[in-house]
């Protein structure tokens, strides 16, 4: 039996086999499974159950994307961080470290971040990229939520965040390595990122709706270099659109979930 749950604006975000969950909880006991099946018919139970930590843990455990330690993708002998303590909306320090380790390993010249926010990750990317590298980063223009694809309610706090007025890489020693773009990534001309050639590393962390991450990914796949890589943030059932999209994408591309992070990695 397949079941789904609805989140945000009625988008069916997560589909999983409910009997798999039953199997885990009730240890094959038929009478308990019967009770669970009955409970599932109750809307109030379904609502709580499909948003519980237990359910999210099960989703992660049964995700089709294999998990690998960072060490299998990159080693990080000496990374450089400045002003990097994270706040709500940023990556965790370990996630920033994972991206920077990949940058040091792969030495990308042309980089792109979708979703600048306060520029924390942008700054760390620029600090660890080769001297002649260029980090493109795009965000919506201040105060603008005119986007082609649906915007999640939970994204609005980051879109309107006032701390974005001053981005962390501005007036730093690596500011010359960063080019800020303003616009809706789902309607933007990606040719503006590839003036110096295809992109060696793309980090997708803009809008979190299914449609938005799908559009960003399709554009990224068009402009990524043959030897390049793409990273996505927020691979967690809490961001159902991202989670569902990446699970679907994993049927076509060999994706890797980086252990201890919400990052997914792909290299063509």
Ligand X SMILES: C[S@@+](CC[C@H](N)C(=O)[O-])C[C@H]1O[C@@H](n2cnc3c(N)ncnc32)[C@H](O)[C@@H]1O
Q: Does 89 bind ligand X (CB under 6 A)?
A: yes
Q: Cβ closer to ligand X: 106 or 167?
A: 167
Q: Does 217 bind ligand X (CB under 6 A)?
A: no
Distance in angstroms (rounded) separating the CA atoms of residues 68 and 8: 31
Q: Does 110 bind ligand X (CB under 6 A)?
A: no
Stretch that binds ligand X, among 83-91, 192-200, 244-252, 260-268 (CB under 6 A): 83-91
Cβ neighbors of 235 (< 8 A, separation 6 or more) are 65, 242, 243, 246, 257, 262, 263, 264
Residue of the chain from 135, 212, 224, 255 that contacts ligand X (CB under 6 A):
212
Q: Does 140 bind ligand X (CB under 6 A)?
A: yes
Distance in angstroms (rounded) separating the CA atoms of residues 64 and 224: 24
Q: Does 184 bind ligand X (CB under 6 A)?
A: yes
Measured from the Cβ of residue 209, the count of other Cβ atoms closer than 10 Å reads 26
Q: Does 174 bind ligand X (CB under 6 A)?
A: no
Q: Does 186 bind ligand X (CB under 6 A)?
A: yes
Q: Cβ closer to ligand X: 147 or 262?
A: 147
Q: Does 117 bind ligand X (CB under 6 A)?
A: yes
Nearest to 61 by CA among 213, 242, 236, 233: 236
Which alpha helices (DSSP H) does the chain contain, by range? 18-26, 30-40, 43-49, 53-61, 93-106, 120-128, 156-159, 210-223, 240-249
Q: Cβ closer to ligand X: 3 or 161?
A: 161
Tokens 């320090």 belong to 93
Q: Does 201 bind ligand X (CB under 6 A)?
A: no
Residue of the chain from 207, 228, 237, 241 that contacts ligand X (CB under 6 A):
207
Q: Does 120 bind ligand X (CB under 6 A)?
A: yes
Distance in angstroms (rounded) separating the CA atoms of residues 51 and 190: 36
Which alpha helices (DSSP H) does 107-255 contain, by range? 120-128, 156-159, 210-223, 240-249
Stretch that binds ligand X, among 8-16, 27-35, 205-213, 224-232 (CB under 6 A): 205-213
Q: Does 91 bind ligand X (CB under 6 A)?
A: yes
Q: What 8-state DSSP symbol labels residue 238?
A: T
Q: What 8-state DSSP symbol labels residue 141?
A: P
Stretch that binds ligand X, among 30-38, 42-50, 76-84, 109-117 (CB under 6 A): 109-117
Residue of the chain from 106, 205, 229, 265 that contacts ligand X (CB under 6 A):
205
The residues that touch ligand X, with contacts defined as CB under 6 A, are 89-91, 113, 115, 117, 120-121, 138-140, 147, 155, 158-159, 184-186, 205-207, 212
């Amino acid at each position: 039996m397949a079941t789904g749950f609805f989140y945000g604006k009625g988008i069916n975000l997560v589909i999983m086999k409910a009997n798999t969950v039953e199997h885990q909880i009730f240890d094959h006991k038929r009478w308990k499974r019967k009770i669970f099946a009955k409970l599932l018919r109750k809307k109030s139970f379904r609502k709580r159950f499909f948003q519980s930590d237990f359910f999210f843990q099960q989703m992660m455990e049964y995700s089709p994307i294999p998990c690998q330690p960072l060490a299998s993708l990159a080693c990080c002998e000496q990374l450089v961080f400045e002003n990097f303590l994270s706040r709500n909306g940023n990556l965790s320090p370990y996630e920033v470290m994972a991206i920077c380790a990949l940058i040091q390993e792969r030495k990308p010249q042309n980089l792109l971040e979708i979703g600048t926010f306060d520029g924390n990750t942008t700054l760390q990317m620029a600090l660890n990229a080769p001297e002649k590298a260029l980090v493109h980063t795009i965000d919506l223009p201040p105060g603008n939520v005119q986007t082609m694809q649906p915007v999640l309610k939970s994204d609005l706090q980051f879109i309107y965040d006032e701390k974005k007025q001053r981005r962390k890489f501005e007036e730093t020693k690596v500011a010359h390595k960063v080019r800020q773009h303003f616009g809706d990534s789902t309607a933007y001309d990606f040719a503006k990122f590839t003036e110096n050639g295809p992109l060696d590393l793309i980090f997708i962390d803009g809008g979190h709706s299914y449609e938005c991450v799908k559009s960003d990914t399709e554009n990224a796949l068009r402009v990524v270099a043959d030897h390049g890589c793409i990273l996505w943030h927020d691979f967690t059932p809490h961001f159902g659109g991202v989670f569902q999209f990446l699970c679907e994408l994993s049927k076509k591309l060999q994706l890797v979930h980086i252990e201890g992070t919400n990052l997914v990695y792909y290299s063509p």
